[in-house]
A and B are shown apart, each in its own frame.
Chain A
Amino acid sequence: GENVEQHPSTLSVQEGDSAVIKCTYSDSASNYFPWYKQELGKGPQLIIDIRSNVGEKKDQRIAVTLNKTAKHFSLHITETQPEDSAVYFCAASRGSGNTGKLIFGQGTTLQVKP
């Protein structure tokens, strides 16, 4: 079945360093790849997304890259800050049609040490 593998499961970096989280998807029909950040006690919040016709997208300190051939996509956070500490989820979806079914990765707990 459809699945998304996410690595690493935990990641600890020093404030100011970069963090990279990687995901691999199995469904070649997937064409929409959002990233969610979940803070303690809250629900997942969309932080950035990318469509399959784009190879890279940036929004300030965060960027996402997509390699459709290899079915890989990654989240890059530069100049990390303590408030970046959270659980991050990647997801994949067949964006066409009236459906929002997302296939999520297992999550990455990011800890940014001050």
Chain B
Amino acid sequence: EAGVTQFPSHSVIEKGQTVTLRCDPISGHDNLYWYRRVMGKEIKFLLHFVKESKQDESGMPNNRFLAERTGGTYSTLKVQPAELEDSGVYFCASSQGGTVFNSPLHFGNGTRLTVT
């Protein structure tokens, strides 16, 4: 079974530019999450999709961040325009339907974003 795949693994952009991160969840997983770890701090929740619907986007920092999951398969996270404080590692995770009790999260390897 292929794991959660994220692309690119690294991205270096200048302040003001746009970057789009992609996540391919494990096949058949309805739940898809985006998390972010900034500069050695805790991993913070950004949002949660159930299929193509946003279930919880309470962690999205501001309107410069846009997440989509068209068709309920892969997801993209766009940052436009990027700011210095957006630098960090962006993780995607997926799980099957149901609760975390019986369907734990599987994380991808992350995208390291550096905004200069």
Contacts and interface: CB of A to CB of B under 8 A. Distances in A.
Interface of A: 4, 6, 32, 34, 36, 41-46, 49, 51, 89, 91, 93, 95-107
B48 interface: yes
B110 A106 contact: no
Nearest to B45: A101
B98 interface: yes
A98 B97 CA distance: 8
Contacts, number: 77
B97 A4 contact: no
Contact of B42 (A43, A98, A107): A107
Interface in B81-106: 91, 93, 95, 97-101, 103-106
B64 interface: no
Contacts of B101: 32, 51, 95
A43 B56 contact: no
A80 to B, nearest CB: 23
B25 interface: no
B55 interface: yes
A104 B50 CA distance: 21
B31 interface: yes
A74 to B, nearest CB: 17
A99 B42 contact: no
Nearest to B92: A43
